[in-house]
Structures are given as structure tokens and as C-alpha cells.
């Protein structure tokens, strides 16, 4: 029997969930994302004719389109049910066009949650494709292609091959580079913070108070402690006032990304991937949104859940309002589809994210937390200007805190401890137990995390919910930014202690500037950023980029033609491209002159090259060929000194002889290493190739030999390229740079050559993780079959 209806969505998981709700009259198929895009090679845009795009169906989508066309011809109505944002609208429009649909036999439906009620409500209220949303998506896609297509060749010629540039990505890199430079230029200043411990009249209770002043030098801090010896201390003021804490609004895309990073340690892309699965399983509402609104249904469900779980005094229904102008992705915040479902059956990551969304949603409709904040001021008898202060905070009614408290990015937030204070009265005399002056350093700016970068982009109005995760992934994939760690620098800090009328002094070592999992620019990122900000300053201005986003919003709202925003941009952008492309530079972009080599007098410079950053003695114009040395992993073109650079030319360094063969130390693309007997050994972290001893080198080489020996389980005389090796997950077969699993019921060491070739021959194609690996495995298996066949004929 022919089905009456075909529903097309963009993902198989979404199709599977929707199919459960619809009857036999509906068939649900997936388009697997976009079925059409700009041609991969070339600009694929006719600039002369109003930026007319040239769309093609990629090879990997040909079969999908073919099956969708066939299915569409055999039904009465095609329902285009892709997501309700601009990307989803564009997918629907491309399907409508490519499948040859018309308004009589097709309908557009949207929903922001995959529930039975939402699906049937959408079917009862279909609409036409919103061309304004389509044009807005198309304008963004074309503009980004124009920028990439015209900028990238300039980067290849002026800096080095294989570089690329993107509109929003370049602005994100700029933010990270500027922050890194702020950190490099930051000069930490020392100061002394005074904390005193006082004993109350009962002789037992001790309270800590902080002085309202900082001292710049150790001498000043010492003098102040000295003055306390002859002072008496009295409670001057006790100020108690009520306070409130309000719950955070429900999640938008960016706030979900930020909180999942802080609370769950998820990357931005991981958060979006997990949220997508929850949405497609019908567990949460649409995850690309900048709205904080909740539907009436969700508000009522929240109220019912809170009353049932915590009592009616915990309920405070409120409708949060979206601050972001041009909120355009969806019409509701991210929330569970059914508030009554506190837990879901899913993977651990999905459960964690769902719980976070559930708590945030419910907490947003709960009563404020009621607090009592107390400030106590302690006077010093011989000092009228300086005071000690104690701050305490008591929760009188926990309200929403019963469920959830939002985190923040303040790395010093644990320094101020909230405490319940003992009863204290004005004019009460206090005894000084001890006073400690701790030397501290002013805090440098913080490097961005993925989450704090999303927050900054949103604050500047750059990008939209659908672009944050791809932007952050792209700048890392292109090698412009890494998520890395810095070891920090050990600093000696002074501590002065006044106790029993005596002042003692000691010091402690503190690690300053250490960072973990923060975004840092690479040398490539710095060089490309400097080139773009110098020559394309206007295009990379934060306000300019934000204004373009606003124009895309206007296109989506029907207030501006999509071609108008492209003409405005291209009129500014293209002349700069032509000018920069034709201009000549005196020296290579990104080159930094460090000084002269004291031995030869030749210039020493740091540069970026095809294989990464390096330093050079001499120039291409010299009669002698310049000398080159790669930078080590922890060095940068931006900060390397002349002395550091000259040290690199001492490599490769001959360490000595061992068993009649020479050991040398050097630095390569992947870090420092030893070379011995045509084999290479990685130098472990903590050892410097310039100072490593012969004894240490011999030990490292011996340890590597032992590891390698235990790695090889078996080799075969029939073919030296076939080996059985030990790996992280057990024994496996290595053959012609491809790996094959050994069945669990077989003993690796007992396998014959014929057994191994049979395993390779019968290995499933899906074991290859990449297209390249699949091709390799296919070639290897063909070779294995050929060898087996040849052996059979021979016998």
C-alpha cells in the first residue's frame, strides 16, 4: 500500500524518534544534513550577477537525493521537517528545489521539541518556507566563501602555503592573540595583604579579619605589624542587612556551553554533540537558541514539579526576557521536554548534561535565596584611617540553591570564604592572636577557555548560536590555536608573622602563571593575525563583524535584501584584497629580527616556515647558505630571545660514543630526540638536549630498546612487513602500515604466517577509521589474497 505522507528531516536519529509518533500513513527519511552546497573548488559565486551562487550535490549525497526523489514521487504530501533555525530552513529550501516540489504537494513544518504533541501540532499548522531565513543563511555562506577564497591565496603567497582565513574565525584568533600579548607584556607587582586573627572575650573563639589596605613593600608591611604591638582593638561597627540571590535564567546555547565547560569539563563541540543527541531522542528542546523564554506548558510543569518535590514556598514563576537583540534561532530556552523526567536512560555524558539542563530549568522557577550579610569593622587604637573587616553570610532560606548554583570564570572565587559569624557587639574589646602579612602578586589577565571565548564572542555580538562551536573547532583544526598548558614560574614570596609581640619572617615558593587547558595562539596564528589586522584592519574590527551579524538578522526579518549586505561588504573588501595582493613587502611576513650573531656578525631572525617556526643565521642574499634551527615546543617567534636562538644552533650536539657508535641530541618537529645507530629516541620532558649527559642518554636508549623488544611478539621470515605487536589494547597484527585485530579466542604468539594472512583477508572493512585507512586496508587485503593465492598455486 502506498504511503500518503513523506516526512524529511536532517538526521537519522531524529527520523527514528519522529517515526515512533506517526502512524502507518507516514514514512520518515533523513537527508543527512545539507544535500547541496557551494562547489568545493573555485569560488562558485557569480559576483557580477548579484552574487548568484552555484550549488552542487556532493558525490556523497547523490544516492541520498536519488532515494529521496523516488520516495517523494510515491506519496501525496512531502513534509519538510528540518530544524527551525536558518540552517534548517536552508536545508528545507534545497530539498524543495532539488526534489522538484511545489506548494501543492509539500508543506513546511517546524517544532522546537520532538514530542508527539509538538509533531501533531506542527502538522496541523504548516507554513511555507521562510525565504528570508534562507536568504540570511545564504548570505552568510556566500560572504564566508568570498572571504576564504580571496584571502587564502594571499596568505599562501605572503606567508606560507596551506594557510586559510575565515571571517569569524579570524576575529576569534585575534581575541586569543591579543590576550596572549597582554599576558606577555604584563608586569606583576607585589603587594602585602594583612589578615589578623582575634580572640573574643570568652578566650576561645577566634575570628579572622582582613585589613582594608594593601602595602607595596615588605618594609611598609613590617612597619604596620610593628605598630600593632602597642595597639588595642575594638569592634567599631556591626552591620547586618538582608540580601538575596536570584536564580540564573534557563539555558541558551552559549550559557549551556559555558556551564557544561565549568561543571562537566566538556568542550564546546562535545556539549553541542551531546545536546544534539538529547534533542533528537526527544529529551530536550532545540539546542541552538539565544532565547531564555519558557512556554506556558513548561512553566506549569515546573511549578508542579517544584511543589511536589520541595513545597509551594519554593515556587516563584517568572518569565525571563532575552537580552540579545536579534535572537533568531528558536523561540524557547533549552529545557527538558518533560520536566517530570528528572533522569533519563542514556549514555553517562548525556545523563550529566540532561541533569544540568533539568536543574537549571527548575531552579529558574524557584524562589530567591534569602541571605543575611554581616560586616564587622574593627578599629585600631593608634590608627584612625585603617580598619579590619570581617564579612559573613548566612543563608536564611535556600530557595533555588536547593537545586542549582551557577558557576563563573573567576579563578580567585574561592579566596573569599563565606562564614557564620559569632555574636559580636559594638565597643567589644578583642585580643590580637596573630597578624600575617602575605606577599601576593597582581593577577595577569586570564587566558580564554573555550567557554569564556564563547562568552566574549556573544558579548561582542560576533557569531550566533549555530556558529560558536564550529568557530572554536575550526581555529584549532587549522593550527592557529591550541588548547594547551603552561608550567608557570616559581616565585619566592615573603610571609611576615606577628605573634606574641615578635615579628618573624619566612618565604614560600609559589607557582605563578601556570595554566591548564587554555586557548593559546600558535606561531602560525600570531603571524596570520598580524598580517590580517595590518592589511585588513576594518574587516577584522569587532564592531564591523558584529554589524554584519546584525545585517544577517535584518535579512532574516525581511528588513534588508541579502544581496545588499553582500554588495556593501564586497565594495569595501575586494579593493583591499587587490591592493594587498599587488603590494610587495621588504621582508617575509612574520619575520622577527633578534640581533646579530656575535661570531659572524650575520643577522639572526625568527620566522614561520612550511614545517613550523624556526630561527635563521644569515640571509638568502649571502654567499654562504643560511643556517636553520627549529624552535622547541615551548618556544615562540613572539618571545624567543637572541641568546635562546643561538643556543638552538648548538644542535645537533654530539653527546659521545657508546658501543662504538655516536649519540647525538637534537630538536625536530615533534620535540627533542636522541639519534643512535639510525634509530630515534624521544627525550622525556624535563631533560634539555643541550645539557643531557652520556649516562642519561644511554639509559634512555636502553629503555627504548627494552620497550621495543617487548612490543614485538612475533615476526615472519616469509614477509618482514608482517609483525604481531603488543599494543595498548592487547596484541594486534601490523602489515604494510595497517593494523588488524586478532580474535580473542586465538593466542597471538602461536599464530603462523598463514593464520595471520587469513585474519588480514577476513578482516571487516569497518575496522578502518578513516577513508585513507580504509583504502590502505583494502590494498593490504588484496595483497594478502594475492599472496595466499600464489602460495596455493605453488603448492
Residue pair 81/109 in contact by the 8 Å Cβ criterion:
yes
Give the DSSP letter of residue 312.
G
pLDDT tens for each residue of 224-233: 999 999 999 9
d(CA 461, CA 451): 15
Whether residue 537 has pLDDT greater than 60: yes
The whole-angstrom separation of Cα 268 and Cα 260 is 8
Asked whether residue 278 carries a pLDDT value surpassing 50, the answer given is: yes
Average pLDDT over residues 283-296: 92
DSSP codes, 652-709 = SEEEEEETTEEEEEEEETTEEEEEETTEEEEPPTT--TTT--HHHHHHHHHHHHHHHH
* pLDDT reported for residue 42: 86
Among 356, 411, 421, smallest CA distance to 390 is for 421
- The residues facing 373 across adjacent strands are 241, 393
**Average pLDDT, whole number, for the chain?**
89
Q: H or E stretch including 489?
A: strand 489-499
- Residue with the bigger pLDDT between 504 and 719: it is 504
730 membership: H or E segment, kind and range: strand 730-735
Q: Give the mean model confidence (pLDDT) for residues 353-363.
A: 97
CA atoms within 13 A on the CB side of 729: 8
Residue 141: is its pLDDT beyond 90?
yes
State how far the Cα of 287 lies from the Cα of 527, in Å rounded to an integer: 36
pLDDT computed for residue 709 by the predictor? 78
How far apart CA 568 and CA 695 sit, in angstroms, is: 68
Catalytic positions, written as ranges: 286
Q: What is the mean pLDDT of residues 672-679?
A: 90
pLDDT of 585 above 90: no
Neighbours of 21 (CB within 10 A): 16
What would the mean pLDDT of 527-532 be, rounded to a whole number? 92
pLDDT, tens digit (0-9, with 9 covering 90-100), for 79-130: 999 998 999 999 999 999 999 999 889 999 999 999 999 999 999 999 999 9
Cell numbers for 560:
534588508
* Percentage of the residues of the chain whose pLDDT score is greater than 70: 93
Between β-strands 233-245 and 26-30, what pairing exists: parallel, antiparallel or unpaired? Answer: unpaired
Mean pLDDT value across residues 25-39: 94
Q: Which residues contact 243 (CB under 8 A, 6 or more apart)?
A: 370, 371, 372, 373, 393
pLDDT, position 447: 95
Over the stretch 677-696, which tens digit does the pLDDT of each residue have?
988 999 988 788 888 999 99
> What is the spatial distance between Cα 343 and Cα 364, in angstroms, rounded to a whole number?
18
Q: pLDDT by residue (tens digit) across 496-526?
A: 999 999 999 999 999 888 898 999 999 999 9
Task: Report residue 647's pLDDT band, with 50, 70 and 90 as the boundaries.
Answer: confident
Given the C-alpha cell 622577527, which residue does it identify?
592
Give the residues across from 592 on adjacent strands: 606
340 Cβ contact partners less than 8 Å away, ≥ 6 residues apart: 301, 304, 305
Q: Are 666 and 651 in contact (CB under 8 A)?
A: yes
Buried residues in 764-776 as b, exposed as e (16+ CB within 10 A)? eeeebeeeeeeeb
d(CA 182, CA 189): 15
- pTM of the complete model: 0.81
3-state DSSP: the chain helix, strand, coil percent, rounded to 5?
A: 40, 25, 35
Write down the residue that cell numbers 502512524 correspond to.
23
Q: What 3-state DSSP class applies to 779?
A: helix
All cell numbers assigned to 509: 615558593
Beta carbons of 168 and 469 less than 8 angstroms apart: no
H or E element in which residue 439 lies: strand 429-441
- In the chain, the largest separation of any two C-alpha atoms, in whole Å, equals 108
Confidence bin at 35 (pLDDT 50/70/90): very high
Name the grid cell of 231.
595597639
Question: Among the listed ranges 152-166, 362-376, 604-618, 773-787, which one has the minimum average pLDDT value?
Answer: 773-787
Higher-scoring residue by pLDDT: 301, 157: 301
Bin 311: left if φ > 0, else alpha if -120 < ψ < 50, else beta.
left
Q: Is 427 left (phi over 0), alpha (psi -120 to 50) or beta?
A: left
Reduced 3-state DSSP string for 190-253 = EEEEEEEEEECCCCCCEEEEEEEEEECCHHHHHHHHHHHCCCCEEEEEEEEEEEEECCCCCECH
How is residue 768 written as a grid cell? 578502518
d(CA 375, CA 718): 84
Q: Is the pLDDT of residue 675 over 50?
A: yes
The answer to whether residue 265 scores a pLDDT higher than 70 is yes
Q: What is the DSSP letter of 366?
A: B
SS3 category, 77? strand
Please state the rounded mean pLDDT for residues 319-343: 77
Residue 611 has pLDDT above 80, yes or no: no
Distance CA 221, CA 211 (A): 11
Per-residue pLDDT, averaged over 751-763, amounts to 90
- Place 586 in a pLDDT band, splitting at 50, 70 and 90: low
Distance CA 286, CA 283 (A): 10
Indicate if the pLDDT at residue 291 is higher than 80: yes
| DSSP annotation string for 602-649 | -EEEEEEETTEEEEEES-TTSSSPPEEEEPPTT--TTT--HHHHHHHT
Q: How confident is the model at residue 578 (pLDDT cuts 50, 70, 90)?
A: very high
Give percent of the chain with pLDDT exceeding 90. 67
Q: If pLDDT is split at 50, 70 and 90, which confidence band does 768 have?
A: very low
Which residues have a Cβ under 8 Å from the Cβ of 436 and sit 6 or more positions away?
Answer: 194, 195, 196, 495, 496, 497, 498
Estimate the crossing angle of helix 753-762 against helix 771-794, to 10 degrees.
Answer: 130
pLDDT at 133 over 60: yes
Q: Please report the pLDDT score of residue 587 as a whole number.
A: 62
Asked if pLDDT for residue 15 goes beyond 80, the answer is yes
Amino acid at each position: 500500500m502506498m504511503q500518503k505522507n513523506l516526512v524529511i528531516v536532517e538526521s537519522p536519529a531524529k527520523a527514528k524518534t519522529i517515526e515512533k509518533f506517526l502512524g502507518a500513513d507516514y514514512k520518515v527519511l533523513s537527508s543527512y544534513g545539507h544535500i547541496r552546497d557551494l562547489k568545493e573548488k573555485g569560488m562558485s559565486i557569480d559576483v557580477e550577477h548579484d552574487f548568484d551562487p552555484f550549488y552542487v550535490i556532493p558525490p556523497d549525497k547523490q544516492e541520498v537525493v536519488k532515494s529521496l526523489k523516488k520516495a517523494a514521487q510515491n506519496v501525496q504530501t512531502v513534509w519538510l521537517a528540518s530544524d527551525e533555525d536558518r540552517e534548517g530552513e536552508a536545508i528545507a529550501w534545497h530539498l524543495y528545489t532539488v526534489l522538484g516540489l511545489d506548494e501543492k504537494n509539500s508543506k513546511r513544518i517546524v517544532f522546537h521539541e520532538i514530542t508527539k504533541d509538538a509533531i501533531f501540532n506542527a502538522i496541523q499548522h504548516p507554513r511555507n518556507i521562510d525565504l528570508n531565513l534562507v536568504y540570511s543563511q545564504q548570505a552568510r555562506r556566500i560572504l564566508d566563501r568570498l572571504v576564504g577564497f580571496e584571502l587564502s591565496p594571499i596568505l599562501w603567497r605572503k606567508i606560507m602555503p596551506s594557510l586559510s582565513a575565515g571571517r569569524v574565525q579570524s576575529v576569534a584568533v585575534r581575541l586569543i592573540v591579543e590576550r596572549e600579548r597582554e599576558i606577555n607584556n604584563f608586569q606583576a607587582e607585589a603587594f602585602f595583604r594583612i589578615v589578623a586573627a582575634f580572640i573574643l572575650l570568652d578566650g576561645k573563639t577566634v575570628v579572622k579579619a582582613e585589613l582594608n589596605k594593601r602595602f607595596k613593600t615588605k618594609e611598609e608591611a613590617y612597619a604596620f605589624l610593628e605598630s600593632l604591638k602597642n595597639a588595642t582593638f575594638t569592634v567599631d561597627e556591626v552591620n547586618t542587612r538582608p540580601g538575596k540571590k536570584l536564580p540564573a535564567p534557563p539555558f541558551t546555547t552559549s550559557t549551556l556551553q559555558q556551564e557544561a565547560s565549568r561543571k562537566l569539563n566538556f568542550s564546546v563541540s562535545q556539549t553541542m554533540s551531546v545536546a544534539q543527541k538529547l534533542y533528537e531522542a526527544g529529551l530536550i528542546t532545540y539546542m541552538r537558541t539565544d532565547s531564555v523564554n519558557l512556554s506556558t506548558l513548561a512553566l506549569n510543569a515546573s511549578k508542579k514539579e517544584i511543589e511536589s518535590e520541595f513545597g509551594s514556598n519554593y515556587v516563584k514563576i517568572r518569565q525571563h526576557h532575552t537580552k540579545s537583540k536579534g535572537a533568531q534561532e528558536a523561540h524557547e530556552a533549552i529545557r527538558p521536554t518533560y520536566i517530570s523526567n528528572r533522569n533519563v536512560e542514556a549514555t553517562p555524558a548525556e545523563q550529566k548534561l540532561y541533569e544540568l539542563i533539568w536543574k537549571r530549568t527548575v531552579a529558574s522557577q524557584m524562589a530567591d535565596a534569602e541571605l543575611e550579610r554581616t560586616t564587622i569593622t574593627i578599629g585600631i587604637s593608634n590608627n584612625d584611617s585603617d580598619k579590619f573587616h570581617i564579612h559573613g553570610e548566612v543563608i536564611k532560606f535556600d530557595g533555588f540553591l536547593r537545586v542549582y548554583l551557577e558557576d563563573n570564570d573567576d579563578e580567585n572565587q574561592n579566596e573569599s570564604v563565606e562564614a557564620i559569624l559569632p555574636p559580636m557587639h559594638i565597643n567589644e574589646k578583642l585580643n590580637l592572636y596573630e597578624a600575617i602579612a602575605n606577599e601576593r602578586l597582581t593577577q595577569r589577565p586570564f587566558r580564554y577557555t573555550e567557554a569564556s571565548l564563547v562568552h566574549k564572542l556573544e558579548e561582542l555580538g560576533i557569531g550566533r548560536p549555530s556558529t560558536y562551536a564550529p568557530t572554536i573547532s575550526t581555529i584549532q583544526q587549522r593550527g592557529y590555536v591550541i588548547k594547551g598548558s603552561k608550567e608557570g614560574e616559581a616565585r619566592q614570596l615573603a610571609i611576615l608573622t606577628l605573634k606574641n609581640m615578635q615579628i618573624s619572617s619566612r618565604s614560600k615558593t609559589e607557582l605563578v602563571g601556570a595554566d591548564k587547558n587554555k586557548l593559546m595562539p600558535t606561531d602560525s596564528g600570531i603571524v596570520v593575525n598580524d598580517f590580517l589586522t595590518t592589511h585588513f584592519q576594518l574587516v577584522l574590527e569587532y564592531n564591523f563583524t558584529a554589524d554584519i551579524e546584525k545585517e544577517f538578522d535584518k535579512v532574516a526579518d525581511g528588513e534588508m535584501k541579502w544581496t545588499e549586505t553582500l554588495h556593501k561588504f564586497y565594495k569595501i573588501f575586494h579593493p583591499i584584497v587587490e591592493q594587498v595582493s599587488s603590494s610587495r613587502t621588504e621582508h617575509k611576513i612574520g619575520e622577527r629580527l633578534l640581533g646579530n650573531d656575535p661570531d659572524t656578525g650575520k643577522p639572526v631572525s625568527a620566522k614561520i616556515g612550511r614545517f613550523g617556526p624556526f630561527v635563521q643565521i644569515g640571509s638568502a642574499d649571502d654567499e654562504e647558505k643560511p643556517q636553520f634551527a627549529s624552535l622547541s615546543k615551548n618556544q615562540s617567534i613572539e618571545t624567543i630571545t637572541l641568546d635562546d636562538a643561538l643556543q638552538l644552533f648548538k644542535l645537533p650536539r654530539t653527546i659521545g660514543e657508546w658501543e662504538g657508535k655516536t649519540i647525538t641530541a637534537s630538536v625536530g618537529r615533534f620535540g627533542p630526540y636522541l639519534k643512535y645507530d639510525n634509530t630515534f629516541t624521544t627525550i622525556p620532558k624535563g631533560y634539555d638536549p643541550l645539557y643531557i649527559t652520556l649516562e642519561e642518554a644511554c639509559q634512555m636508549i636502553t629503555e627504548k630498546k627494552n620497550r621495543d623488544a617487548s612490543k614485538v611478539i612475533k615476526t615472519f621470515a616469509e614477509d618482514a612487513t608482517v609483525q604481531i605487536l603488543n599494543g595498548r589494547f592487547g596484541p594486534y597484527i601490523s602489515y604494510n602500515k595497517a593494523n588488524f585485530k586478532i580474535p580473542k579466542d586465538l593466542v597471538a604468539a602461536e599464530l603462523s604466517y598463514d593464520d595471520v594472512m587469513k585474519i588480514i583477508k577476513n578482516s571487516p572493512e569497518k575496522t578502518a577509521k578513516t577513508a585513507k585507512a580504509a583504502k590502505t586496508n583494502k590494498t593490504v587485503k588484496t595483497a594478502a589474497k594475492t599472496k595466499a593465492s600464489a602460495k596455493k598455486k605453488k603448492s
